[in-house]
Amino acid sequence: MKNKQDQFKKITAHCKEYGYIFQSSEIYDGLSASYDYGPYGVLLKNNIKEYWWKAMVQMHENIVGLDAAILMHPKVWKASGHVDAFNDPMIDNKDSKKRYRADTLIEDYVANKVDAKIEKEVAKARKRFGDAFDEAQFRATNGRVLQYTKKREDIISRFVKSMETNELDGLKDLIEELGIACPESGSKNWTDVRQFNLMFAMQFGALASDAEDSQVYLRPETAQGIFVNFLNVQKTTRQKLPFGIAQIGKAFRNEIVARQFIFRMREFEQMEMQFFVKPGTELKWYEYWKEQRLKWHQAIFPAHKLKFHKHEKLAHYANAASDIEFEYPFGFKEIEGIHSRTDFDLGEHQKLSGRKLQYFDSEAQESYVPFVVETSVGVDRLFFAVVANSLQEEQVPDAKGGMATRVVMKIPPVLAPIKVAVLPLLKNKPELTAKARKVFDKLKFVTDCQYDEKDAIGRRYRRQDAIGTPYCVTIDFDTLEDDTVTVRDRDTLEQIRLPIDALEGYINKILSFNQLFA
Ligand code: ATP
């Protein structure tokens, strides 16, 4: 645990020191759960978005893009259910004065105090029995595992019932009966559970009035902009079912607890795709998108750091839902949601607006409201995962024949903020710096580059390692003779010699998004 906390601290400190992420309004002591992306952060973030956009829109003939406004008619949020039901149950600890989400306290208890114990028993048995171990049989028959499994089922069924029926006392009873303590103070002195609506409301226009539509909301998800434009997009692009609409944009939630850096922010960015399908085929497409989206993540993260988590409690609009979870320094947590949203959203908008939101199926010769499968991933949670997965400390040979520690960000090269650093071997040799400038002026047309001549070459390499630059191109005295440069690979530390004229082709090949799609 301590190691994990250390890792978390190292990530936040590194992000600040190297211009990735700053606390918002830092000179005024910051605004909680708001963050600014610095010079390298914005580049990495843009690259993540480009990777998603290409994978979803460019690679699918039947997915098109959209950029809807953040502010929408207030009835949108009435129809979608957000005004009445976009709540989280909130509880305070009377001693520590810390606020928590009651559902998260219970879910964390199940994960850490029940599931973890089951997995421990299984791991012990696997070790004991070796190759002869039959895991399925062990899980089905071992006394202790069965005891924990039963406990899990009891907790989850009471939890789901309380959440579904809005029975807040039921949640409080569970917290007390399970002896859940405040993670900060250990105190079990809790307030009652209350509902809290997560939408930010504001007045629209110069004259605040009591009129129902003068109160607008900052959108809590980008999806509704897609639903209300469903027919506009379908008609103008002449798409046939199944087809999708993809959108990247800011979303806002007045989160109850926000203590996990950019994992949970009050202003964040989503990349959502709503896939419209014929009713009855939605669960097939739901499975399809689960698999596609997992593969997308596996191209940039190791498989063991990703897993599916099936929702125990379905949202009011869903008939199936799973998260893809990533192993953050504080454990496996949701990075993306894949939801089968039925015809709930289009159906409700149709009812409240009085406008038809139906698709005419020319094959079946009938009109209907399509069903929707959604994939929804947070840009900031992806960003956090990329940094957490790539930040490493390792021992490497130093110039004196010994070993030294280097801090390196092994970001997948296509996503790295700066792709190539151009470095003259020495600063005070005008012939080297002039040549290096020429190389830089050529490469800046190809990709994001940085020219750096300050400090000894070894220190510049370390600086680029810490930023995550995958390639350093060094201009030395041989360059002046034969127009070749060394290219140093961030991860292997290998150096190869290449003609300057070959650099563009080399970079284009290894830094293409096709590397990830392959
Ligand atoms: P959680 O259970 O963690 O609150 P959620 O289930 O409410 O998340 P969704 O409504 O499914 O999240 O939103 C889709 C995606 O948007 C999430 O998978 C996550 O990546 C991102 N997201 C949601 N809330 C936040 C937030 N407060 N800060 C950053 N990203 C967020």
Has residue 207 got a pLDDT over 80? no
Give 366-387 pLDDT, tens digit per residue. Answer: 999 999 999 999 999 999 999 9
Nearest-5° angle of CA 269, CA 72, CA 32? 40
pLDDT at 209: 59
Query: pLDDT tier at 47 (50, 70, 90 boundaries)?
Result: very high
Nearest CA to ligand 1 atom 8: 334
The rounded distance, in Å, linking the Cα atoms of 503 and 308 is: 41
Nearest CA to ligand 1 atom 16: 378
Give 452-508 pLDDT, tens digit per residue. Answer: 999 999 999 999 999 999 999 999 999 999 999 999 999 999 999 999 999 999 998
Nearest CA to ligand 1 atom 20: 378
Does this model's pTM top 0.85? yes
User: Region 54-71: what's the mean pLDDT?
Assistant: 97
Burial class (CB in 10 A: 0-12, 13-18, 19+), 397: exposed
pLDDT at 2: 61
The rounded distance, in Å, linking the Cα atoms of 390 and 407 is: 10
Q: 103 CB under 6 A from ligand 1?
A: no
Distance of CA 258 to the CA centre of its chain: 16
Separation of CA 265 and ligand 1 centre (Å): 9
Residue 429 corresponds to which tokens in the numbers above? 């040799």
The rounded distance, in Å, linking the Cα atoms of 13 and 22 is: 10
Q: Ligand 1: which of 270, 289, 314, 317 to mutate, judged by most atoms within 8 Å of the beta carbon?
A: 270
Q: Which position has the higher pLDDT, 392 or 510?
A: 392
Burial 463-479 (b: 16+ CB within 10 A, else e): bbbbbbbbbbbbbbeeb
Query: pLDDT tier at 204 (50, 70, 90 boundaries)?
Result: confident
User: Region 324-336: what's the mean pLDDT?
Assistant: 95
Has residue 315 got a pLDDT over 90? no
Nearest CA to ligand 1 atom 6: 337
Mean pLDDT of the residues in the chain: 93
Residue 395 corresponds to which tokens in the numbers above? 């021992």
Picking from 396, 399, 496, the residue whose alpha carbon sits closest to that of residue 457 is 399
User: Region 46-53: what's the mean pLDDT?
Assistant: 98
pLDDT at 4: 76
3-state secondary structure of 386: helix
| 463 contact partners, CB below 8 Å, separation of at least 6 | 452, 455
User: Region 6-34: what's the mean pLDDT?
Assistant: 94
Has residue 399 got a pLDDT over 90? no
pLDDT at 290: 98
Q: Do residues 160 and 313 make contact, with C-beta atoms less than 8 angstroms apart?
A: yes
Nearest-5° angle of CA 449, CA 454, CA 456? 110
The rounded distance, in Å, linking the Cα atoms of 433 and 18 is: 25
Residue whose tokens read 């789901």: 160
Q: 255 CB under 6 A from ligand 1?
A: yes
Q: Ligand 1: which of 259, 381, 382 to mutate, judged by most atoms within 8 Å of the beta carbon?
A: 381
pLDDT > 70: what percent of the chain? 98
Separation of CA 378 and ligand 1 centre (Å): 6
Q: 82 CB under 6 A from ligand 1?
A: no
pLDDT at 42: 98
Atom of ligand 1 nearest to the CA of 258: 27
Q: What ranges in 229-264 are assigned the alpha helix state H?
A: 230-237
Separation of CA 262 and ligand 1 centre (Å): 11
Q: Do residues 80 and 449 make contact, with C-beta atoms less than 8 angstroms apart?
A: no
Count CA atoms closer than 13 A to 123's CA, side-chain side. 6
Query: pLDDT tier at 313 (50, 70, 90 boundaries)?
Result: confident
Picking from 245, 276, 250, 283, the residue whose alpha carbon sits closest to that of residue 265 is 250
Q: 377 CB under 6 A from ligand 1?
A: yes
Query: pLDDT tier at 275 (50, 70, 90 boundaries)?
Result: very high
Give 417-466 pLDDT, tens digit per residue. Answer: 999 999 999 999 999 999 999 999 999 999 999 999 999 999 999 999 99
Burial class (CB in 10 A: 0-12, 13-18, 19+), 429: middle
pLDDT at 208: 58
Nearest CA to ligand 1 atom 18: 336
Separation of CA 221 and ligand 1 centre (Å): 9
Q: Which of 89-103, 229-243, 304-318 has the lowest mean pLDDT?
A: 304-318
pLDDT at 211: 62
Q: 376 CB under 6 A from ligand 1?
A: yes
| 468 contact partners, CB below 8 Å, separation of at least 6 | 40, 390, 408, 409, 410, 411, 416, 417, 418, 490
Q: How many CB atoms lie within 10 A of CB 181?
A: 17
Q: 346 CB under 6 A from ligand 1?
A: no
pLDDT at 488: 96
pLDDT at 397: 86
The rounded distance, in Å, linking the Cα atoms of 517 and 59 is: 9
Q: 223 CB under 6 A from ligand 1?
A: no
Kind and range of the H or E element at 375? strand 371-378
Atom of ligand 1 nearest to the CA of 378: 20
Q: What is the CA radius of gyration of the chain?
A: 27
Residue 239 corresponds to which tokens in the numbers above? 């798409």
Give 131-160 pLDDT, tens digit per residue. Answer: 889 999 999 999 999 999 999 999 999 998
Has residue 1 got a pLDDT over 60? no
Nearest CA to ligand 1 atom 12: 337
> Backbone phi, then psi, for 10, in 5-degree steps?
-60, -40
